[in-house]
Structure 1
């Protein structure tokens, strides 16, 4: 099984900082191939740094570094290929800048930018149309969890975004479960027993059908191995713990095959 281990930088890093991180990652993974043994690394910079990071991870395949298999992602894109959408970027544009993966439906975009189940569906379709990997983010609030509605809420988000896909299209999708109560600077790290039901539900519906099921939410080097041991978890989507190169490399090492054995 391949473990997907990635990070989104959100609205962080200048061009110089992004280049330095990407250059260091490329050098580290080229000299330490054991870090990608059984692991698929991916990084998602802000749009301003996408092309710069791609140039530091240069190879014959767009978005894939000279270090084996580093995937480059974009944090968002519009579902239309072009047009009068001031301030937006399209899937063809982020692909042209080097992205092979597209993050869709993060809770911050749902809360602050009116992202809906319908817009996530359109973006998933657009990503697949242009041969990018959709990374669909889903997750419930603390209130929904307390009311016992987690399973239905997650399935509504996932089914709505993925409706109409063929099995082949579905097999190219990543789903990241990120409970809202566990993410961000104010997030509370989840206990293992709190994640068993969500991943049981998601695995029953999508296990073996999607590319991988990931977990994101206050992931650190201290809890990563435990999170990866949860049935159904096939990777981690990491925030601030991987914003430093050293932090990301440490997490890759924890996930790599020798450490996980």
Structure 2
């Protein structure tokens, strides 16, 4: 099984900056790296640029940070999964905690978007994670499992879904790196589900990536700002070997 190593650019990088990043990754990865599945998730404006720079059939997957559950319609400001695929995306990030907190993403919409990605042959990357309050109350694993089960419920191929475990208290500018014992219960709960792989994300960097990759139940890393520099991203890919 390959280790998944990827990053989301979030709301950073112009098209030229994204293309430069992708070109460096293409040169470093070549025809692929045994045992590692790299992926890049740029902003929507740069998806086609990144996909085109990586080239057709690239071993590096391009993704989108969000897509609607309907194939088309009057959904101002949204993009559909077919549109994402047309731009070169092969992966769809769904349900990030920022989307849940600020854009009314719910377990129901996460499930609908997961179904849409599967319907069109794209890989859903479903983000799940608990708040600090849930963790401190001893409910972290239950919250995370409930989110993941809701996303997988009724799907045509739950074994094609990637789960990204990103504790809310560990992500973002003010997040803190986890201790192994803090994330082990949620990882154990996710390992029981029929997903393709479980990735960990949340204050990942070159210092903690080696031991995070060795945790039971972790099949990859979903990295934020620590991978916005392409050299750091390539170093993280090398750690996945």
What TM-score range do you get, normalising by the shorter chain? over 0.9
Shift of 1:10: 0.3
Provide the residue aligned with 1:75 in structure 2.
65
SS in 2 for 1:175: strand
Provide the residue aligned with 2:200 in structure 1.
215
> Partners in 2 of 1:118 and 1:92 — Cα distance?
20
Shift of 1:171: 1.2
Provide the residue aligned with 2:182 in structure 1.
194
> What are the equivalent positions in structure 2 for 1:109-120 lying under 5 Å apart?
109-120=99-110
SS in 2 for 1:176: strand
SS in 1 for 2:6: strand
What TM-score does the superposition give when structure 2 sets the normalisation length? 0.98
What TM-score does the superposition give when structure 1 sets the normalisation length? 0.90
Q: Is the 8 A contact 2:162 2:196 kept in 1?
A: yes
SS in 1 for 2:237: helix
Deviations 1:187-214 (A, max 9, x none): 010011111111111112x2xx321111
In structure 1, the gaps of 5 or more residues are: 257-261
> Partners in 2 of 1:186 and 1:195 — Cα distance?
18
State which of 163, 172, 192 in structure 2 corresponds to 1:184: 172
Q: Aligned pair 1:44/2:44, yes or no?
A: no
> Partners in 1 of 2:101 and 2:187 — Cα distance?
23
In structure 2, the gaps of 5 or more residues are: none
Q: Aligned pair 1:252/2:240, yes or no?
A: no
Deviations 1:94-140 (A, max 9, x none): 00000000000000000000000000000000000000000000000
Provide the residue aligned with 2:16 in structure 1.
16
Number of aligned residue pairs: 241
Shift of 1:37: 2.2
> Partners in 2 of 1:235 and 1:28 — Cα distance?
19
Cα RMSD over matched residues? 1.0
Shift of 1:165: 2.0
Deviations 1:137-179 (A, max 9, x none): 000000111111112111211111111124xx11110000000
Provide the residue aligned with 1:259 in structure 2.
none
